[in-house]
Copies of this chain bind each other. A is one copy, B any other.
Amino acid sequence: MSDFKQFNSVEEILKKLSGGDYEKVRQVIYGNAVGKIDVPNSVTTRAELSNIELQTWSVPCPEEQLRPPRKIRLGLFQHKIPVPTTSRIDDMRNAMYALARDAVELAAGGGVNVFCFQEAWNMPFAFCTREKSPWCEYAESAEHGPTTKFLQELSKQHNMVIISPILERDETHGDTIWNAAVVIDNHGRYLGKHRKNHIPRVGDFNESTYYFEGNTGHPVFQTEFGRLAINICYGRHHPLNWLAFGLNGAEVVFNPSATVGQLSEPLWGVEARNAAIANGYFTCAINRVGTETFEHEFTSGNGEPAHHDFGHFYGSSYVAAPNGSRTPGLSRTNNGLLITEVDLNMCRQVRDHWGFQMTQRLDLYAELLTNATKSDFKQQIIGNY
C-alpha cells in the first residue's frame, strides 16, 4: 500500500512504453492529444524553487468563421497543508495564504484567467475527526470573511477570476456552516457563491456531521472569461448535478475535491471526464494531495483500528474537454499547478457535432423524475419471477 501510495503518476509509468505503443494507449485512454504552451522561464524557475509541479497544456480547437476564438487559461492548484494540524488555526491559515499567494502569482505569470483551489482549501480536511473544535473556527463569511478579502486583493492585482472553496459561516441563519465555493471576479469583486449540493456519508467523509445539503441551486457565474460553475467534490458522483450546471449554461465546471484511497481513485478519471462529454463543457477536477495527520485518533467504520490520518489524498488534478480528450494529471504526491489553455468555442462545436443536447429528450425525463419522487412510484418492470 505505501508503495502504491507513493508512485508519482500513471503518465510517468506509461512513458516507459515505446513511442508507438505509448501513443496507441494514450489515444485510447486519454483521447486526442493536447498541446504544450510556453510560459516565461521565470515562472518555471519560480515553480521549481517553490517545489510546485508546473504543467502547461493547451486543448486544440478549430477556428470558426463568425466567432473569434475565446481562449482562456485555467489554473488548477492542488496542495498539501503546509504546517502540522496541531498548529493554531490562525497560523495554519496564514501558512495557507502564503502558499496561495505563491500559487496565484505563478499562475499570473503563466497567463491564467481563472484560478481554482481544491475543496476547503484554507484548512486541513478535518471532517474525518468529527471534532467540532477547533475545526469549525475555520468557517467564515463568504461575502466578507478574511479569505475572501485576501483573495480579492490578489484577483484585482492579477486580473484573475478566483474560485475559493471554503467552509462558510452563515451568521444570519443561526450560525450554520456550509461547504461553499466563493467566486471573485477579475476586478476583485465578490460575484457570488455556491453551496455543495450533495454531502457524502462514506468512510471518513463525515461531512454531514458539519453541514447540510446546499440550498443555492446550480448557479452559473457569467464572467469576462466565460460562464463558470462549481460542482463541489462528492457532487461529481451525481450526473444530475453536472447536468444541471449544463442546463444553466456552464462552459467550464470546476470540481474542487478532497478524495483518498484505492476505492475512489479508479473513479477519478471517469466521472469529471464523462461529465465533460455528456454536457459539452470543460471540466476541471482538482484533488487535494498528501497525507494529513491529526492529534486525536479516530475510527473509520471499516473494522480497522483507530488511527490518526485520513489516508492519502492522491492529487491527479486534470482538465477534460467536451470532446473527451483530457490533459495528463498532476502528480499523486506533490503540490502542483496545472495551466490549461482552452477555447470556449469548443463547447458549441462539440454539441453541434455529437448532438447530445438536441437528442436529450428532457421532457421524457422531467416526467419520470417527477414520478420517481412520489411514494407510490411504480417502476416500469416487465415480467414477474
> Which residues of A line the B interface, CB within 8 A?
3-4, 7, 10, 13-14, 16-17, 20-21, 24-25, 27-32, 183, 185, 191-192, 197-202, 213, 217-224, 227, 234, 237-240, 242-244, 247-249, 262-263, 265-267, 269-271, 273-274, 277-278, 323-325, 353-356, 358-366, 368-370, 372-373, 379-385
The answer to whether B218 and A368 touch across the interface, beta carbons within 8 angstroms, is yes
Q: Nearest chain B CB to A196's CB is how many angstroms away?
A: 11
Chain B residues within an 8 Å CB radius of A219: 380-382
Closest to A270 in B: B274
**Contacts beyond the supplied A4-B24, A247-B379: 8 A-B pairs with Cβ under 8 Å:** A27-B266, A28-B265, A32-B262, A220-B382, A221-B381, A244-B365, A271-B274, A366-B372
Contacts of A379 in B (CB 8 A): 220, 247-249
Contact of A372 with B362 in the complex, beta carbons under 8 Å: yes
* Residues from chain B with Cβ under 8 Å of A384 in the complex: 222
Residues on B with C-beta less than 8 A from A13 are 17, 21, 24-25
Of A7, A16, A32, A381, the most chain B CB neighbours within 10 A belong to A381
Q: How far is the CB of A14 from chain B (nearest CB, A)?
A: 7
CA distance A24 to B201 in the complex (A): 28
Across the interface, do B266 and A382 meet the contact criterion of CB distance under 8 Å? no
Contacts of A213 in B (CB 8 A): 359, 361
Pairs A-B, 7 closest by C-beta atoms: A31-B266, A239-B239, A274-B274, A366-B369, A222-B383, A192-B382, A366-B370
B28 touches A218 (CB 8 A): no
A3 to B379, CA, bound (A): 48
Residue of B nearest to A23 (CB): B4
**Identical chains bound together, number:** 2
Q: Which residues of chain B are within 8 angstroms of A24 by Cβ–Cβ distance?
A: 4, 7, 10, 13
Q: Are A267 and B277 CB-contacts (below 8 A) given A10-B29, A198-B359?
A: yes
CB pair B192–A247 under 8 Å, yes or no, is no
Select one of B183, B249, B263 contacting A323, CB under 8 A.
B263
Cβ-defined contact, B29 with A266, below 8 A: yes
Question: For residue A16, which residues in chain B have a CB less than 8 angstroms away from its CB?
Answer: 17, 21
What are 16 A-B pairs with beta-carbon distances under 8 A? A10-B28, A13-B25, A29-B29, A31-B266, A213-B359, A219-B381, A220-B382, A224-B385, A237-B354, A239-B240, A240-B360, A240-B365, A248-B379, A267-B324, A270-B277, A270-B324
A27 near B4: Cβ-Cβ < 8 Å: yes
Choose from B25, B32, B361, B380 the contact partner of A14 (Cβ within 8 Å). Answer: B25
Contacts of A27 in B (CB 8 A): 4, 262, 265-266
Is B238 a contact partner of A360 (Cβ separation < 8 A)? yes
Q: How far is the CA of A244 from the CA of B356 in the complex (A)?
A: 17
Residues of B within 8 A of A20 (CB): 3
In the complex the two chains form, what is the Cα distance from A380 to B373 in whole Å?
A: 23
**Alpha-carbon separation in the docked complex, A31 to B218 (Å):** 31
Known: A13-B25, A220-B380, A353-B202. A277 touches B271 (CB 8 A): yes
Asked if A202 contacts B354 (CB within 8 A), the reply is: yes
Q: Within 8 Å CB of A25, what residues of B?
A: 10, 13-14
Docked Cα-Cα span, A89 to B220, in Å, equals: 53
- The reply to whether B221 and A361 contact each other, CB–CB distance below 8 Å, is no
The residue in chain B whose Cβ has the minimal distance to the Cβ of A377 is: B247
Question: Bound complex: CA of A191 vs CA of B247, how far in Å?
Answer: 37
Across the interface, name the chain B residue whose C-beta is closest to A197: B361
